[in-house]
Chain A
Amino acid sequence: MKTTFLDFEQPIAELEAKIEELRYVQDDSAVDISEEIDRLKKKVQGLTKDIYAKLTPWQISQVARHPQRPYTLDYIEAMFTDFHELHGDRSYADDPSVVGGLARFNGQACMVLGHQKGRDVKERTLRNFGMPRPEGYRKALRLMHTAEKFKLPLLTFVDTPGAYPGIGAEERGQSEAIGHNLFAMAGLTVPIITTVIGEGGSGGALAIAMGDTVLMLQYSTYSVISPEGCASILWKSAEKAPEAAEILGITAPRLKTLGLIDKIVSEPQGGAHRDPAAAAQTLKKALAEALRHLADVPTEKLLKTRYERLMQYGKFEEQAA
């Protein structure tokens, strides 16, 4: 598949195009230009490295939403075996923007769960751009309880612009569905490992993200509101999104510094979509390590640690009245 380049990647795109051109010429040419191609390839690598070394938060959020970025099902395919997708919330519908099911991770039985975006126009519509409706969250809740029942660790993958703001979603209790998941995860008696793989959009993300360990891919984002949403509220203009992205603190390094996530999982040069297999392999190692740390923790201690972790979220000062 041809790589889609983002605005700020245009210099890379131009070089790549040139390489393509040379390759084409080389096929029916007597002159050996492979040296020239190698030189350009090195240049591309250097350029990519330079550009990606100083991405702004806004540019990172573009990478997080890249149309070719690996999605939950891609990671499931690459990291898990024996995956059996489970469907439906048992009371209204199956929401394809949330996927989950039983699977094996390095042979170990577990439950996986994640937001799912679509690759082409048709699938994007089907998956509602990764924006769940209440039935998606209720399916997630059902799978959480199944995991608990059979003492299976729960691995969740976050990639959503947010919960869907629609009429039907409100009628069927979007708020209750999200709140209920937070409530359930607070007391779930199995380890929860959350990875933000793309966009971590607000409450719609948090509803499956209350992990005992929270990982973030290097170029993913996690935020209380989208930069565009924040900009249109505070500056009354969505064009201020780059400023909003800067100030909201949505990138993995920033959130790690703030102590709100546990680990940053590095991505291949130029982002996970440039080498999905390598991205999955790195993530798989990080997940294995996280699982190992949580595997033998007694339930009581697991819940106590989770509770303490949740209770320490917050920055404030105490003033004597």
Chain B
Amino acid sequence: MSWLDKLLPPKIQRDGARSVKSMPEGLWVKCPSCETALFSTDLSNNAQVCPKCNHHLRINARERLDLLLDAEGRFEIGADVRPVDSLKFKDSKKYPDRLKEAAASTGETDALVVMQGAMNTLPVVAAAFEFDFMGGSMGSVVGERFARGVTTAIEQKLPFISITASGGARMQEGLLSLLQMAKTTAALQRLAERRLPYISVLTDPTMGGVSASFAFMGDVVIAEPGALIGFAGPRVIEQTVREKLPEGFQRAEFLMEKGAIDMIVDRRELKAKITRLLALMQALPADAFQAA
């Protein structure tokens, strides 16, 4: 155990141990875009961005929060909130079995991790989706953790940041999952009423019920390069309109051109960018924060 690990509160230590998704050392990973074989440690050290072609690979929720939040003084919100199978949902598999499998493969208990912490010493609440947990789908637990995060931000007068990676609502919870769209967005409406900043970061992919609720309600909406962002999935659209979709359709750059987002930011510059934006939105002096 390193000296840093010893300093961290027990919760964060456990969190680190839980991110089984991060690759074991010495593994080679092929970049899905340029197909270069990359050493996984190099990739981790480069925020899961391909050093050759700058392709932004998907990244898990805790790794994401590690990149954005300062190491000191964070704590998790709503970790105790756990999913239940209210519909007794079963297709080819039972919902509880799907939950168990997702938990085993990700080390998470649901598809959202919310933390209060600081970005370059500026206090914030941040919520990051875990795409590997059932496609980052939004059910009751995601909605509740999100709402608790926003409520904490309201109570402590803090900005709120969401980082989305989700296929949409979680079918296995039926209408209840649809209503999470209303719940999360209503929480943010209260945040907005109190003039607290909300920054939404759209990453690959941000679709369906997550895209069509809070994701575009940010005071600033940021996307990662190349991220797929939209309401309906490309396949559904293709089947509906029966024509080939234009090149780059629903990609971050396409949304930028259509005026749907404010900016595209490289993952490695995201923390610095958001910190500066937050300082400006809270009318803080330029030296109000300290970069690590």
Question: Which residues does A use to contact B, with CB under 8 Å?
Answer: 163-167, 169-176, 178-180, 182-183, 185-187, 202-203, 206-207, 210, 222-225, 230, 233-235, 244, 247-250, 255, 258, 260, 306-307, 310-311, 313-321
Contacts and interface: CB of A to CB of B under 8 A. Distances in A.
Nearest to B87: A249
B interface majority secondary structure: helix
Interface stretch (B47-55, B63-71, B119-127, B209-217): B209-217
Given A179-B213, A210-B182, A250-B175, 6 more contacts: A166-B241, A167-B237, A171-B258, A203-B169, A224-B174, A311-B183
Contact of A314 (B79, B183, B209): B183
B183 A310 contact: yes
Nearest to B144: A314
B118 interface: no
Nearest to A169: B231
A180 B221 CA distance: 14
Nearest to B250: A170
B179 A234 contact: no
B144 A179 contact: no
B43 interface: no
Contacts of B17: none
B231 A186 contact: no
A173 B260 contact: yes
4 tightest A-B CB contacts, nearest first: A165-B232, A314-B140, A186-B186, A234-B91
B8 interface: no
Contacts of B245: 167
B171 A165 contact: no
Nearest to B167: A233
Interface of B: 11, 79-84, 86-87, 89-92, 140-141, 143-144, 147, 169, 171, 173-183, 185-190, 192-193, 208-209, 211-217, 229-233, 236-237, 240-241, 243, 245-246, 249-250, 258-260
Contacts of B212: 163, 174-175, 178-179, 203, 207
Nearest to A223: B175
A170 B87 contact: no
Most central of B83, B144, B186, B237 by chain A CB within 10 Å: B186
A237 B110 CA distance: 27
Nearest to B14: A321
